[in-house]
Structure 1
Amino acid sequence: MNGNLIVNIILAIILLGMIGYEVYQHFNRKRAAVILTEEEFRENMRKVQVIDVREKPEFDAGHILGARNIPYSGFKTRMVEIRKDIPVYLYDQKKSMSGRAAVKLRKAGYTKIYRLKDGYQNWNGKIKKK
C-alpha cells in the first residue's frame, strides 16, 4: 500500500510537470508573435517576408502566393535567410509549427514577427501550386 502511494505521488508530480511545461510553451508561443487575421495578413503581404514553415511536399501542393518555403524541420539552420529589418509573416497548415518557428526567431533577436491566425487550411486568398 505504501509503495502504491509513492508511485501515485511520483506519477502526479510527473503529470503536473508535463502540464506546466505545455502551459509555459503555449504562452511562450503567444508572446513570440502577433496573431493576424487573414484580412490583416493579406493587407501588408507585399511589404513583408511571408514564410511557409510546412514541409516541401505540402508547400508544393499549394501555398500562399509570394510565400517562401523554409520548413520547420530545417528552420534553425535556414532562418539566417530571413532578414531582421523586415517584418516576418509566418504560417503553416494550422498554427502549431509557426508558433514554434516564432519562438526560435524571437530568441534569435527578431522583433517583428506575425502569424496567420487559422493557418493555410482556412486561407481564402490567392494561392500557387507547383
Structure 2
Amino acid sequence: MNDITTAELKERQANGTAPVIIDVRETWENEEARIAGSQNIPLGELPSKLDDLEDLKEQEVVVHCKGGGRSASAKAYLTQQGFQNVRNLIGGMQAYQQG
C-alpha cells in the first residue's frame, strides 16, 4: 500500500473516514503534540504490543513518527508480522503540524 500524505489524512479525519493511527514516537514526544485519535506505541514497544494489535491486521493502519524514519521501520516490521495495509505518514508529525 502506498504511504499517505498529511493532506489525505487530514481530509479523511475531517470526513470521518480516518484509519487507525499509531504514533511510534516516544511517550514524551507524544505528550508534546499528538494527532487526534492516534494511539502511542513507541517503536521499541511494538513487538510486545502485537497481541493487542491482532485485530488490525486486515484494517488500514497509518504509522507516524517525527519525520518518517521510525515509522518506516514500524511499517516494515508490521508488514512482516502479517499486517496487510500499513501506510507511513509522509513527513511525519513535522509535516502534519505544518500543513
Structure 2 length as normaliser, TM-score? 0.84
- Using the TM superposition, give the Cα deviation of residue 115 of structure 1 relative to its aligned residue in structure 2, in angstroms: 1.0
Structure 2 unaligned spans of 5+: none
- Using the TM superposition, give the Cα deviation of residue 105 of structure 1 relative to its aligned residue in structure 2, in angstroms: 0.6
Give the alignment's Cα RMSD to 1 decimal. 1.6
Question: C-alpha distance in 1, partners of 2:27/2:65?
Answer: 11
1:108 is aligned, of 72, 75, 81, to 81
Identity %: 25
Q: Which residue of 1 aligns with 2:92?
A: 119
**3-state SS of the aligned residue for 1:44?**
helix
Q: Which residue of 2 aligns with 1:37?
A: 5
**Structure 1 residues 39 and 70: alpha-carbon distance in aligned structure 2, compared to 1, 3 A threshold:** same
- Using the TM superposition, give the Cα deviation of residue 98 of structure 1 relative to its aligned residue in structure 2, in angstroms: 0.3
Superposed structure 1 runs of 4+ greater than 6 Å apart? none
Larger RCO (CA within 8 A; separation ≥ 6)? 2
Matches for 1:19-38 after TM superposition, within 5 Å:
34-38=2-6
Question: C-alpha distance in 1, partners of 2:18/2:59?
Answer: 8
Higher gyration radius (CA): 1
Letter in 2 for 1:103: A
Structure 1 unaligned spans of 5+: 1-32, 126-130
Question: C-alpha distance in 1, partners of 2:64/2:83?
Answer: 16
* Count, aligned residues: 93
Bigger fraction of residues in helix: 1
1:69 is aligned, of 22, 35, 40, to 40
- Using the TM superposition, give the Cα deviation of residue 49 of structure 1 relative to its aligned residue in structure 2, in angstroms: 0.9
